[in-house]
Amino acid sequence: MKSRLLGGIAALVLAIIGTALLVVYVQGADARAAQGLNPVKVLVVKEAVPAGTKVEDLGGKVKVEELPQSAVPAAALESLDGQTGRVTASALQPGEQLLAPKLVDPKELVPGTVPVPDGLQEVTFLLAPERILGGRLEAGDVVTVYSSFKTDDNMPADANVPAEVKGWKQSTGLLFHDVLVTAVQKAAPDDSKSPSNSSGDSTVAMPNGSAFVTVARSDADAAKMVFGAEYGTLWLSKQTDKSTKTQPPVTTFGGLYR
């Protein structure tokens, strides 16, 4: 009886020791695996960043993550230290690592422009001030594009147009969100024609003329914008990081007050 009891106790002690050794081994294996990955810190983009964005404005758009060294390029940045005064050479997308070559001196960019994102092309439109925020658009801004049309009286009854447009001669619709402005060219202000502001208030002077606005878009989207400018009119509205983006129906007089 006593020998069986001692045998049971010995087996229990051996089981406890074996379990403890197994836990220690597993923990050691995890540590060895982590050490083998050699994690390093790197800045990762949290949200879309337009080309030409200043480093000073990147703080809230990137975060520090630990990734295996094997997955981190040598040019990856751990912090923004020493990058003051630089701008993004191209658009940055969420999830990508921030690489040093992506930040350049503004002088390396063509004055008044931002680089064209890969896969897109540039197209230019001559637009009146009221269609471009009174001429306040700048390279690097992101805009929403609208088009307005006056329908030809001779349009066929079976024309392929939205149902809400049929029967109306005027319509306005949203073409695209998230259109990158790569350049804005406008004439220098004519001070002789500008109203004087002797009162010293902060009123913005009226713009004097139209401007060439260049945007980056795919070839198919550019074709639609060219059509809108050729046979109708284009309007641009500036987006912000907090702008709400929806897909409203085409607006006609019949649906304006609904």
Using 50, 70 and 90 to split pLDDT, how confident is the model at 196? very low
**Higher local confidence (pLDDT), 189 or 233:** 233
pLDDT of residue 201: 55
Nearest alpha-carbon partner for 125 in 175, 183, 187, 178: 183
Return the DSSP state at 68.
Answer: E
Asked if 158 and 243 touch (Cβ cutoff 8 Å), the reply is no
- Report the alpha-carbon distance of residue 47 to residue 104 in Å, rounded: 20
- CATH hierarchy code of domain 39-108: 3.90.1210.10
Query: What residues does each domain of the chain span?
Result: 39-108, 110-191+206-258
pLDDT tens, residue by residue, 106-161: 766 676 778 788 889 999 999 999 999 988 898 889 999 999 988 665 555 555 55
Asked if 96 and 76 touch (Cβ cutoff 8 Å), the reply is no
Q: Residue 100 carries which side chain, given as an amino acid letter?
A: A
Using 50, 70 and 90 to split pLDDT, how confident is the model at 242? confident
Asked if 244 and 159 touch (Cβ cutoff 8 Å), the reply is no
Nearest alpha-carbon partner for 118 in 86, 93, 146: 93
**Mean pLDDT, rounded, of the chain:** 80
